[in-house]
Amino acid sequence: MLMLGKGRYSCGNIIIYTAVTILAILMLFPGAFANVRYLGYNLFKQGAKVYLNYQTKDFMEQSSKHFILKYSENDEDTASFVLDMAEDFYAKVVNQLQYKLSGKAKIPIVIYPDEAALNESFGWSVDKSAAGVYWAGNIRLLSPHALAVQGSSLDEVKRIFAEEGPLSHELAHLFVDEKTRGNYTRWFTEGIAQYVEKTTTGFTLQEPGLEEKKELYQFSRMDEEFDNLPNQTLAYWQSLQAVNYLIEEYGMDKMNQFLQVLGNNRGFSEAFQEVYSISVKQFDNDIKKMLQI
């Protein structure tokens, strides 16, 4: 009994000593906190990839230089086209965001035949709908066939996917996530993703009406409850306008510098002030004045 007790306490001591040592190291090297968080996030993403791979074990598979594509029979005729588009967008996003992904792991893309299958992969309720989702290092897309009117020719299906599909948007989310090492706000990544989408495919979401624009959201509120905001069109539009304004006013180099500084684990407001020399609050006021005119 004593041995057991001793053993248990020894074990407890080892845990305490280890925890104290780790804490001391973290305090000696402030960047270490960020590294531990990043390490945890990376592990989480690796786990998500393994789980997605398991979930889609019965899917067909094709790969290219940077992607591994999984799809059902429904998309045997679009898979190669989607992969070609992915490589094309990849080169454009690398160029725009001035960032090369580290490591040699290929990016998983899964094409689901319909909305129900896509929603089910997340356990979402059926009333939520999306044509594409970036989550934890992987991209999930709705079949190009589901974007086009039923009975459309294959050429038409491909054209609609190329012009309106969310692939470049989701890929931009992945690059923002990687370049900032997971350190970004929600409106910001939605703004960048829409900006990249607009410049690669020409696609933009519908613009809100004049009445709607009178009640713009605070950026801090958009960070906290983006998905639950009652006017999603307004939230997405405002995010794009904000990023658009930053790029037109200060240039793409500054934007890439900002992403880089976020990747060094600086707080969003601190990084914003450092790169743009204005506070987020001031920017919030400026952009609202501009958008309400």
C-alpha to C-alpha distance for 163 and 5, rounded to whole angstroms: 68
* Nearest distance in Å: CB 152, Zn ion: 25
* Nearest distance in Å: CB 61, Zn ion: 26
Identity of the amino acid at 180: T
* Nearest distance in Å: CB 153, Zn ion: 29
Q: Which is nearer to Zn ion, 52 or 176 (CB)?
A: 176
Number of residues that bind Zn ion (CB under 5 A): 2
* Nearest distance in Å: CB 147, Zn ion: 16
Q: Which of 79, 70, 151 is nearest to 110 (CA)?
A: 70
Stretch 113-142 residues interacting with Zn ion (CB under 5 A): none
Task: Give 174-193 as a DSSP string.
Answer: HHHHHHTTT---HHHHHHHH
* Nearest distance in Å: CB 173, Zn ion: 6
Stretch 25-84 residues interacting with Zn ion (CB under 5 A): none
Q: Which is nearer to Zn ion, 193 or 255 (CB)?
A: 193
* Nearest distance in Å: CB 136, Zn ion: 14
Interacting span for Zn ion (CB under 5 A) from 76-84, 87-95, 179-187, 193-201:
193-201
The contacts of residue 59 (CB under 8 Å, 6+ apart) are 70, 71, 72, 110
C-beta of residue 132 within 8 angstroms of C-beta of residue 166: yes
98-109 b/e with 16+ CB inside 10 Å = b?
A: bbebeeeeebbb
Task: Give 88-115 as a DSSP string.
Answer: HHHHHHHHHHT---SSSPPEEEEEESSH
Q: Which is nearer to Zn ion, 183 or 194 (CB)?
A: 194
Give residue 112's Cα distance to chain centre.
19
Our finding on whether 235 is near Zn ion (CB under 5 A) is no
* Nearest distance in Å: CB 39, Zn ion: 26
Task: List, in sequence order, every residue forming a beta bridge with 68; answer none if it has no partner.
Answer: 63, 108
Query: For Zn ion, which residue has the nearest CB?
Result: 193
In terms of residues, how long is the chain? 293
Q: Which is nearer to Zn ion, 177 or 190 (CB)?
A: 190
Q: Which of 154, 149, 147 is nearest to 76 (CA)?
A: 154
Our finding on whether 193 is near Zn ion (CB under 5 A) is yes
Which SS3 state, helix, strand or coil, does residue 111 take? Answer: strand
C-alpha to C-alpha distance for 177 and 245, rounded to whole angstroms: 21
Our finding on whether 240 is near Zn ion (CB under 5 A) is no
Q: Which is nearer to Zn ion, 75 or 190 (CB)?
A: 190
Q: Which is nearer to Zn ion, 178 or 190 (CB)?
A: 190
Stretch 152-191 residues interacting with Zn ion (CB under 5 A): 190
Q: Which is nearer to Zn ion, 142 or 193 (CB)?
A: 193
Q: Which residues bind Zn ion (CB under 5 A)?
A: 190, 193
